[in-house]
Amino acid sequence: MLKLKSPADFIGKQGPGVISFGSGQPDLPPPKEAFDGIDIKRDLRYGLIQGELKLRQMLSHEYPGSTADNFVITNGASEALDLVFRAWGKGKVLLPRPYYYSYLPIIQMAGMTPVFMDLKDGRIDIQDFKKKIRGCRAVLINSPSNPTGRVETIETLKEIEKITRKLGVYVVSDEVYKDLIYERENYHIKGDHVITINSFSKTYCMCGVRVGYLWSADKKVVENVCEMKTHTSMNTNLVGQDMALSTMNAPKEYIEKQRLIWRERRDFIYKELLDLGFDLWKPEGAFYVLPKCKNPRKFLTTLYQDHKVITYLGEWFGAPDRIRLSYALDVKQIEEGLSRMKSAMKKVRAI
């Protein structure tokens, strides 16, 4: 019997014939630029804790008014988030529920207390935000969101930006899916009170390279994070940083093409799940759907054991009445997976 404690229970379980809606990573290849001109026979002594200067300079062009000093290169977005909260070490963090499943342990391990705002139609309810933001050290937002697939409206983002500035509350904005928005351009929340978390993993399909970063206009935040990173991991892998720098030479069309592929998959899975009778939010970014589901544990187990289909419990994301599906699969596989799901629905009441 599956333990069903966390997504880790499914790692390494994807044998032959299994269709996985589990893993939250692109199945597409990185751009060829990721490899162009990379020489692993480089100087392999310690690099700067803050990250390679050239990479930070290149990133600064994407953040108007910034310099290399505003960035710290990290072992993926995960390490950036972990260090930011650890550097604070106490206080309350407001975050939307459902949330990305690492948010809760990261906040709690840092010694901070989570405060939840519930969503309205899959997005932040600004009234609930206003009620709960006072007294918090920070608010953590994630647009586009894993696991909801929703994108906050620019109106909401601007209001959060304004209110937090006024109250002196930090905004930690996890924008790792910023290049996977189907409806509009990303809106980058700005200000001295904003810490942006980002990554090369999703945009450039290189999750295993583990290169992410944080941006902050607050010198103290950058200094504190670097001080901690000196003790906890030192510089981020140098070859990975070279590859990250090189991907930034990929043409804009690379990202545009990816987005079209994701949109086609989104359109397909969204319509099919509706046809199967599921109640779900339409994804506007990233590559997840989070349909409501009755008997989620039983359904998940049947799907996996009888039909070789992996899905994740919404419970792991703070949504016990839902299941999460990643559509990082080609349309043929999505189709086959949903057809198996249809069979499973004859055995377990899922809707």
Q: How far is the CB of 198 from a second copy (least distance, A)?
A: 15
Q: Which stretch binds a second copy (CB under 8 A): 35-43, 56-64, 250-258, 296-304?
A: 35-43
Q: How far is the CB of 117 from a second copy (least distance, A)?
A: 21
Q: Which residues contact 260 (CB under 8 A, 6 or more apart)?
A: none
- Are the beta carbons of 177 and 285 closer than 8 angstroms? yes
Tokens representing residue 38 in the block: 């990379």
d(CA 292, CA 280): 6
- Answer for which of 141, 206, 273, 293 binds a second copy (CB under 8 A) is 206
- Answer for which of 3, 37, 43, 168 binds a second copy (CB under 8 A) is 43
Going edge to edge, which strands form the sheet with 288-289? 288-289, 323-326, 312-313
- Determine, following the binding rule CB under 8 A, whether residue 45 of this chain makes contact with a second copy: yes
Place of tokens 């529920």: 97
- Determine, following the binding rule CB under 8 A, whether residue 2 of this chain makes contact with a second copy: no
Tokens representing residue 30 in the block: 């990185």
- Answer for which of 76, 285, 296, 314 binds a second copy (CB under 8 A) is 76
- Determine, following the binding rule CB under 8 A, whether residue 176 of this chain makes contact with a second copy: no
Going edge to edge, which strands form the sheet with 113-120? 71-74, 212-216, 194-199, 170-174, 138-142, 92-97, 113-120, 123-124
- Answer for which of 160, 189, 205, 348 binds a second copy (CB under 8 A) is 205
- Are the beta carbons of 116 and 318 closer than 8 angstroms? yes
- Answer for which of 186, 237, 249, 301 binds a second copy (CB under 8 A) is 237
- Determine, following the binding rule CB under 8 A, whether residue 234 of this chain makes contact with a second copy: yes
- Determine, following the binding rule CB under 8 A, whether residue 228 of this chain makes contact with a second copy: yes
- In the complex with a second copy, which residue's Cβ is closer, 95 or 205? 205
- Determine, following the binding rule CB under 8 A, whether residue 3 of this chain makes contact with a second copy: no
- Answer for which of 2, 38, 154, 274 binds a second copy (CB under 8 A) is 38
Q: How far is the CB of 222 from a second copy (least distance, A)?
A: 13
Q: How far is the CB of 182 from a second copy (least distance, A)?
A: 23
The SS3 call for residue 19 is strand
- Are the beta carbons of 28 and 258 closer than 8 angstroms? yes
- Determine, following the binding rule CB under 8 A, whether residue 160 of this chain makes contact with a second copy: no
- Determine, following the binding rule CB under 8 A, whether residue 333 of this chain makes contact with a second copy: no
- Answer for which of 148, 216, 236, 326 binds a second copy (CB under 8 A) is 236
- Determine, following the binding rule CB under 8 A, whether residue 78 of this chain makes contact with a second copy: yes
Q: How far is the CB of 342 from a second copy (least distance, A)?
A: 28
d(CA 155, CA 170): 18
Q: Which helix (H) or strand (E) holds 240?
A: helix 238-247
- Answer for which of 10, 56, 79, 141 binds a second copy (CB under 8 A) is 79
- In the complex with a second copy, which residue's Cβ is closer, 187 or 317? 317
d(CA 44, CA 248): 22
Within 10 Å of residue 46's Cβ, how many Cβ atoms?
Answer: 9
The DSSP code sequence of 176-228 is TTTT-BSSS------STTEEEEEESTTTTT-GGG--EEEEES-HHHHHHHHHH
What pairs with residue 20 in β-bridges? 310
Binding mask 107-136 for a second copy (x = CB under 8 A): --x-x-------------------------
Q: Which stretch binds a second copy (CB under 8 A): 24-32, 57-65, 115-123, 297-305?
A: 24-32
d(CA 264, CA 26): 14
Tell me which residues touch a second copy (CB under 8 A).
Answer: 6, 8, 11-12, 23, 25-27, 30, 34-35, 38, 40-41, 43-49, 75-76, 78-79, 82, 86, 102, 105-106, 109, 111, 205-210, 226-228, 230-240, 243
